[in-house]
Amino acid sequence: MLEIPLSDTTATHRLGQALARLLTAGDAVLLEGDLGAGKTTLARALLRALCADPDMEVPSPSYTLVQVYDAPVAEVAHFDLWRLDGPGALFELGWDDACEGIVVVEWPDRLGTLAPPDALRIHLLHGADGGRVARLGGWGARLAQLGNMGRGEQS
């Protein structure tokens, strides 16, 4: 488990950019946290970095449930499962095909048994100082590649 303080939106963007450098086809990033914890902010930063377009429009998939992006490293599917009742509807959304690329999932508890066991799990929490804290789990030694971010330093 790696804990990274996110004092502001810029720190959240830096985390997304750092994670983008580590992602390859077949990876899954599962974003957990309460409403307003910063899941969509982190997903947007990650997607913009993966697509090498800092100004790219990244709409929330809250109503469409999934948005797909062509990134140089792989196709990326951004799922927001807040409105999903359970994993059954995922097949209609192209879950199996999406998993061949990179998947970024908000509200991954709705995945049930379809949650990839080797996924990077990021739990975003409201910090006492008004910022956020990201708790990252999974990926084993790959987390070490995030360098000094766990000590609050820039990566």
32 is a domain residue: yes
* CATH number where 127 lies: 3.40.50.300
Q: Provide the number of structural domains found in the chain.
A: 1
Q: pLDDT tens for residues 45-94?
A: 999 999 999 999 998 877 788 999 999 999 999 999 988 877 788 888 99
CA distance 55 to 63: 22
Residue 135's pLDDT is what? 95
Question: What's the rounded Cα separation, in Å, for the pair 64 and 83?
Answer: 10
Average pLDDT over residues 4-19: 94
Q: What is the pLDDT of residue 155?
A: 42
Query: Is a pLDDT exceeding 90 seen at residue 18?
Result: yes
Q: What's the confidence (pLDDT) of residue 5? A: 93
The reply to whether 46 falls in a domain is yes
The predicted structure's pLDDT at residue 4: 93
- Taking the C-alpha atoms of residue 12 and residue 61, their distance in angstroms, rounded to an integer, is 19
Strand positions, DSSP E, 62-151: 66-70, 75-80, 102-106, 120-126, 132-137
Residue 81, domain extent: 1-103+115-148
pLDDT tens per residue, range 101-155: 999 999 999 999 999 999 999 999 998 888 899 999 998 888 888 866 765 544 4
The residues with which 121 forms a beta bridge, in sequence order, are 30, 137
Tell whether 121 is covered by a domain: yes
Confidence of residue 1 (pLDDT cuts 50, 70, 90): confident
> Does 154 fall in a domain?
no
pLDDT on residue 152: 52
The reported pLDDT for the residue numbered 89 is: 84
Give the pLDDT score at 148: 66
Whole-structure pTM value: 0.91
pLDDT at 149: 72
